[in-house]
Amino acid sequence: MEKSLEGWQKLYDVIIIGSGPAGLTAAIYTSRANLKTLVISGAMWGGQLMLTVEVENFPGFKDGILGPDLMQNMWGQAEHFGAEMIFEDATAVDLSSKPFKVMVGTKAYEGKSVIIATGASPKRLGLESEQRLVGRGVSFCATCDAAFFKGKKVIVVGGGDTAIEEALALSKLAGEVKVVHRRDKLRASKILQERASREPKIGFIWNTTVREILGEDKVEGIKLAKVDSDDEFELICDGVFIAIGHKPNTEIFQGQIELDEAGYVVAKNETKTSVEGVFVAGDAQDHRYRQAITAAGAGCKAALDAEKYLGEF
Ligand code: NAP
């Protein structure tokens, strides 16, 4: 690892990797506790809420709040207490000795403690055609891309809250939205299911999986297969939105801290990782709740645990 002087001059009490609700809540708590705090935000700062339109279930906002506004507020609060932020990706870590080192390209930053809050990213189907057509009609974010599909036919793949939210968002602009789900029951919450059932533009294709996304330079259709009979059929469409869950963003920690089989950080006593002084919060560890409010709560706990650890350091 190349070390630049700029990086090595700075020793932080806490380095927080990630800037979703977990990372920024941790930053509010550590900076308010007078701990020298650096947030390495990721190139796309703010996490998954930056891709959400309306957040209706974060306490304190009875009329809802836009995801990006909520994140901007959280960052403003952390900055107010003196937290610093680098708007880049952490590219490597060395947690084998103290102080810990976090690399951002060729720059290294040192921390007496680290809070991992790198979150999770959308899962992919793993099809060659999906990879080839990303940005050419294949999308993982309706909020970002719905505007390209005004009056058009789109497919949403998945049966969870994300898939139904995507379908609802798309129905405001697209001409027709079909949700393709591999079972005959949605996993999504009742309230979202009811909203989708009231939306005439949204239809469902049950017990069906995706075989291939069709088109050379842009999406022109989709090849589907019935789960029970394996019968294949094709539909014409202009866009395919994939909403089949998430995977944790923990690649840079492999071999450094304990991860489970799916790559989630293994935590003991809620926030403690297998390395003393390294804590975790949010979707990088939590595959059960994955809510902004639970991530924020976990960020608070990680910050308090880091503060206690530094008191004993
Ligand atoms: P999820 O709940 O894990 O749902 C993923 C969906 O994709 C499931 O229906 C699953 O099918 C399907 N799926 C998974 N792998 C697949 C594959 N390879 N091919 C086809 N289908 C596949 O993920 P999510 O919808 O992203 O939600 C994640 C968490 O965030 C949840 O806890 C959710 O409640 C929360 N969330 C909440 C809100 C909200 O409250 N407004 C909004 C978005 C997300 P099966 O059902 O058969 O497993």
Tens digit of pLDDT for each residue in 163-210?
Answer: 999 999 999 999 999 999 999 999 999 999 999 999 999 999 999 999
- The set of protein residues with a Cβ atom below 6 angstroms from ligand 1 is 57, 125, 157-163, 165, 182-183, 187, 209, 243-246, 290
Q: Residue 5's pLDDT is what?
A: 44
Q: Residue 1's pLDDT is what?
A: 42
Helix 161-171, helix 190-198: angle, nearest 10: 30
Indicate if 300 belongs to the active site: no
Tokens of 178: 């079909």
Which of 13, 141, 237, 283 is labelled catalytic? Answer: 141
Which of 13, 63, 145, 283 is labelled catalytic? Answer: 145
Mutate to test the pocket of ligand 1, among 140, 183, 191, 290 (most ligand atoms within 8 A of CB): 290
Indicate if 237 belongs to the active site: no
Q: Residue 36's pLDDT is what?
A: 97
Q: Residue 2's pLDDT is what?
A: 42
Q: Residue 242's pLDDT is what?
A: 97
C-alpha span between 26 and 18 (Å, rounded): 10
Query: What totals of helices (H) and strands (E) does the chain contain, helices first?
Result: 8, 19
Q: Residue 51's pLDDT is what?
A: 72
| Nearest to 69, CA basis, from 79, 54, 90, 56 | 54
Indicate if 144 belongs to the active site: yes
What residues in the chain have per-residue pLDDT under 50? 1-5, 7
Contacts of 53 (CB under 8 A, 6+ apart): 66, 67, 143, 169
- The whole-model pTM stands at 0.78
C-alpha span between 67 and 56 (Å, rounded): 10
